[in-house]
Structure 1
Amino acid sequence: MIFVNGLPFPTDSSQERGALVTLLEHPKLVSACNSFEAMQEVKVSASKEDALQGRWVYVFQREFATVNPAHIDFIGTDEATTCVGLVIRNQRNGMTSVAHMDSTNVVDIGLTQMLSLVADKNFDDDLDVHLIGGFEDVLPKQANGSTRSKTQEKGDGYSFALCTEIIETLHKRKEKLHIQTLFVLRHNTKRDSQGNAYPVFNGFLVKTSTGSVIPASFDRTTRCPDELVRRIRISASSEDPTWNGKLLETYDTQNDRFVIAPCSWTFWQVHVALTLQDLSDEEILLQCSTSPSAEGPEFVDNLRRQWDYLIKQPHWNLTFPTRHPRVFEWTADGSWKRCLFSPQDPWNEDGAQTSFQMT
């Protein structure tokens, strides 16, 4: 159930115009968007002047992570254009879950994954919710969200369908979900002199002790650990049936460590990498992005690094031997260090293959 400004969001008000459109115009949420837009973006880097004072967890596209404020000070994501960053935080204990949703297909199960360690089983806790990202990649044809199909053609826009699916799914949940920020679509859109649309902000950072959310961007040194492998999982997971409809598991909340859940890739994906690597930067943008004009300067380079890895490591089981996760623990010097995974560790991938098998 959705709450706004402490009051239940009435179901009848969403039937005619669509819940998303109604919420985008809610005075409380419009005011919150104006306040968020006025904030200075924090640039997170490993350099001393931009370093965070504390520990943080970074979430890549199609990943989620739930953190305990007793262990983690910040959690965030960036690189969102048509994707949506979603924050759910328990007001009582500060448990915070962040997801970087990129498709309507992962919303339903993804929300269940996020809420499993945040909400109590009796639905008594009040949960703060923030949605940030999903700029207006096309002008909406109609205000009524019900007229838009879940599966969007490339020229018809992505953000609106994803935002609609998230709001409608939240509305159906039994948990008490208090929307605090809805910085998506027109609220997160700016235009240049030619009328081209861009996101105002591509990312955010949550301070887990207070629940405050601020605009943020990260550099490669802070999107860690295991940055490249985690990027590869984004595309590889689309052909790995283990992850159908799910967000990618990344962080072990109870044991306070990164557990990069395994994902397999096929020789077809390696072939595609070989083909795409020969394209020009402009062709890569047009073929691989939902919003070519809005991507950051690292977009193409990040893709080329992923393809290089796949070409050099065509067998996924060399990256995830016997389909075990890659585990990283925090060290005293303030970094994540990879450690060996033990079969006795309390980790189990639902439906995972535990024996050697080539795909």
Structure 2
Amino acid sequence: MIFVDGVPFSSSSSSTNEENQDLVSLLQHPTLISASDSFKATPHILIDTSALTNHVYVFQREYATVDPALVQLLGTDEATTCIGLVIRNHKSGMTSVSHMDSPHVVDLGLTQMLSLLVDQNLDAAELDVHLIGGYDDTLLEHNNGTSESNADVDSHSFPLCSKVVEALQRRRQHFHIRTLFVLAHNTRIDSNGISHPIVTGFVVETCTGTITPANFDRSSRSPDEVVRRIRVTVSSGDPTWNGKLLETYDAKKDRYQIAACSWTPRWQYIALSLQQLSDSEILLRCSTSPLSEGPDFVDNERRLFGYLIKHPNWKETFPARKPRIFERTADGGWRRC
């Protein structure tokens, strides 16, 4: 069940489809508009390993739940049409972040996130929630300065946002929406009338629950960056992960436990083909928002292709389908076990 300002939320309008109306009404809620304005005005920070001790980074389609006694910062970035979902138990401080990229992973993904946040046998828990990302990828700007949604453009963001809100509303836990920085709230329009996200990443201070717009440099997205990116690309073909978020981090042991994901040898052929494309063609083929990706998007994709070309057999990466485990070192880095 969703709460805003401590009050159960219920949409009173019937002007749109019932499944979307809660999202539309929440976007128009004065408290959440004010929260979006405050979040947008917060200066971005850059996360790098030189400034951190204990932090955990979440890639697309991953999630991680952390104990504030062990982890100071938890976050994600590179979200354009994806949504970063934060759920925090404000009694225990336990915090979960996911990087959702499809409506198909929302229901089971939410169950995964809640598994360490609440006791399923007790009454409904009180949880703080933030949704960040998912810019309006259908918005067009006209010469007269007005803007409207283009019905001829398939949106990736809206169905995902709507599904997340619907799933939260159906659960018995009490989800207190603190931030809803998505769609129009998270959209700017450039001089050519093209829409872009304002914020593509954030970090959570686990002890306080404070959310700050943030981006991570490559060094702070470790460990096992390329393998984790590959899991995102190939996981749809692995039935183990059907409808699920990718398991990544062990909250009890404070270590990355990157669960196995399989791929077929055909991915070597696909990677070889994609590696031959120009940068602009890779953007068009591999991104849901080719005009809004970060400057390192193509390079990240090429590194991924290179790994699949070199390692067509997934068992080389995950022998006996065992997870790749990384423990934290004294200097804040990671060492593979």
Shorter-chain TM band: over 0.9
Report whether the alignment pairs 1:130 with 2:130.
Answer: yes
Contact residue 197 and residue 292 of structure 2 kept, 8 A: yes
CA shift digits 1:22-76 (9 cap, x unpaired)? 00010000000000000000111234xxx13x31000000000000001000100
Report whether the alignment pairs 1:329 with 2:327.
Answer: yes
Contact residue 154 and residue 290 of structure 1 kept, 8 A: no
Amino acid at match of 2:91: R
Aligned to 1:43: 46
| Gap runs ≥5 in structure 2 | 141-150
Q: CA deviation at 1:154?
A: 9.8
Q: CA deviation at 1:129?
A: 0.3
CA shift digits 1:99-126 (9 cap, x unpaired)? 0000010000000000111122224321
Q: CA deviation at 1:236?
A: 1.1
Aligned to 1:349: none
Report whether the alignment pairs 1:113 with 2:90.
Answer: no
Q: How far apart in 1 are the matches of 2:99 and 2:12? A: 28
3-state DSSP class of the match of 1:309? helix
Amino acid at match of 1:182: L
Change (3 A) 1:128 1:15: farther
Aligned to 2:77: 78
3-state DSSP class of the match of 2:179? strand
Q: How far apart in 2 are the matches of 1:296 and 1:79? A: 7
Q: Bigger shift: 309-318 or 117-126? A: 117-126
Report whether the alignment pairs 1:24 with 2:24.
Answer: no
Q: CA deviation at 1:302?
A: 0.3
Aligned to 2:186: 188
Aligned to 1:9: 9
Q: How far apart in 1 are the matches of 2:152 and 2:334? A: 38
Report whether the alignment pairs 1:61 with 2:64.
Answer: no
Amino acid at match of 1:129: V
Amino acid at match of 1:193: S
Change (3 A) 1:120 1:174: same
CA RMSD of aligned residues (A): 1.4
3-state DSSP class of the match of 1:221? helix
Amino acid at match of 2:23: L
Aligned to 1:143: none
3-state DSSP class of the match of 2:163? helix
Q: How far apart in 2 are the matches of 1:124 and 1:110? A: 18
Aligned to 1:350: none
Aligned to 2:103: 104
Q: CA deviation at 1:261?
A: 0.2
Q: How far apart in 1 are the matches of 2:153 and 2:278? A: 22
Q: CA deviation at 1:258?
A: 0.6
Q: CA deviation at 1:194?
A: 0.9
CA shift digits 1:139-185 (9 cap, x unpaired)? 39xxxxxxxxxxxx994110001000000111001100000000000
Q: TM-score, normalised by structure 1?
A: 0.88
Percent identity, please: 60
Aligned to 1:200: 198
Report whether the alignment pairs 1:92 with 2:91.
Answer: yes
Amino acid at match of 1:234: V
Q: TM-score, normalised by structure 2?
A: 0.93
3-state DSSP class of the match of 2:291? helix
Contact residue 92 and residue 125 of structure 1 kept, 8 A: no
Paired residues in the alignment total 322
Amino acid at match of 2:96: S
Q: CA deviation at 1:321?
A: 0.4
Aligned to 1:281: 279
Amino acid at match of 2:110: L
3-state DSSP class of the match of 1:195? coil
Q: Pick the aligned partner of 2:37 from 34, 37, 40.
A: 34
CA shift digits 1:73-108 (9 cap, x unpaired)? 010000000000000000100000000000010000
Q: How far apart in 1 are the matches of 2:152 and 2:252? A: 40
3-state DSSP class of the match of 1:124? coil
Q: How far apart in 2 are the matches of 1:165 and 1:315? A: 35
Q: CA deviation at 1:16?
A: 4.3
Change (3 A) 1:273 1:123: farther
3-state DSSP class of the match of 2:43? coil
Aligned to 2:155: 157
| Gap runs ≥5 in structure 1 | 141-152, 340-359
CA shift digits 1:310-336 (9 cap, x unpaired)? 000111001000000000111112211
Q: CA deviation at 1:13?
A: 2.2
Q: How far apart in 1 are the matches of 2:2 and 2:66? A: 23
| Aligned pairs for 1:256-275 within 5 A | 256-275=254-273
Q: How far apart in 2 are the matches of 1:223 and 1:212? A: 20
Q: CA deviation at 1:239?
A: 0.4
Q: CA deviation at 1:270?
A: 1.6
| Aligned pairs for 1:159-238 within 5 A | 159-238=157-236
3-state DSSP class of the match of 1:249? coil
Q: How far apart in 2 are the matches of 1:32 and 1:287? A: 35
